[in-house]
Amino acid sequence: MEIIDINDEKELKLNIKFMREEEGIPQKEIAKKLGVSRSTYSLWELEINMIPLPRLVELCKIYSCSIDYILGLNKRLKKYPNMKYDINRNLCSKRLKEIRKEHKYTQDKIAKKLNTDNGVISRYESGKTLILTSFLMEYAKIFNISSDYLLGKIDEKIPIKELATV
């Protein structure tokens, strides 16, 4: 698998607003389904704040789509065949570590790429903490791998580079 230099990648646009408008659902209704205020949800749509991963998973259930699609990592498929709708936290921590090691990255090296510290990476890989949405996106881009795969929602290692173009 090819490693992608995140500095060379153009910014990916989240599909949160697009999906809501495509479904014809008002912000207030989506916010209520997610258990947040309309203003909180609005900040996610405007990409002022990043949507937390548990809420993103719920949003994907509402729209019946993949996390890759919502994050703008997959522009070809709205959802994957045999996709699970929930995260497998144990599998996620295992896959984060596995992918990092496959590419011969140390925890220190990936922590520096993500502008964080080793302890954060260690907590993700041990399953003590669920990865942040922004870090999930960066992992996917750096290692050219589906975020749905990293989260245990699909079983196939799909390179996002193949999915990113229309």
In the chain, domain spans: 16-71, 89-163
Instruction: Let me know: does 145 contact 99? Beta carbons within 8 Å.
Output: yes
Q: Do domains 16-71 and 89-163 have the same CATH topology?
A: yes
Mind listing the pLDDT tens digit for each residue in 88-121?
999 999 999 999 999 999 999 999 999 999 999 9
| pLDDT at residue 43 greater than cutoff 80 | yes
Rg (CA), the chain: 15
Q: Does domain 16-71 have CATH number 3.60.20.10?
A: no
What are phi and psi for residue 35, nearest 5 degrees?
75, 35
162 pLDDT band (50/70/90 cuts)?
low
What's the pTM value of the predicted model, to 2 decimals?
0.87
Amino acid (one-letter) located at 148: D
∠72-74-77 over CA atoms, to 5°?
Answer: 130
Amino acid (one-letter) located at 81: P
Mind listing the pLDDT tens digit for each residue in 66-88?
999 999 888 888 899 999 999 99
Fold of 89-163: 434 Repressor (Amino-terminal Domain) (1.10.260)
Angstrom distances, CA of residue 47 to CA of 15, 54, 74, 106: 10, 17, 18, 30
C-alpha 35/C-alpha 33 separation (Å) is 6
> Which one, of 161, 136, 160, lies nearest residue 54 by Cα?
136
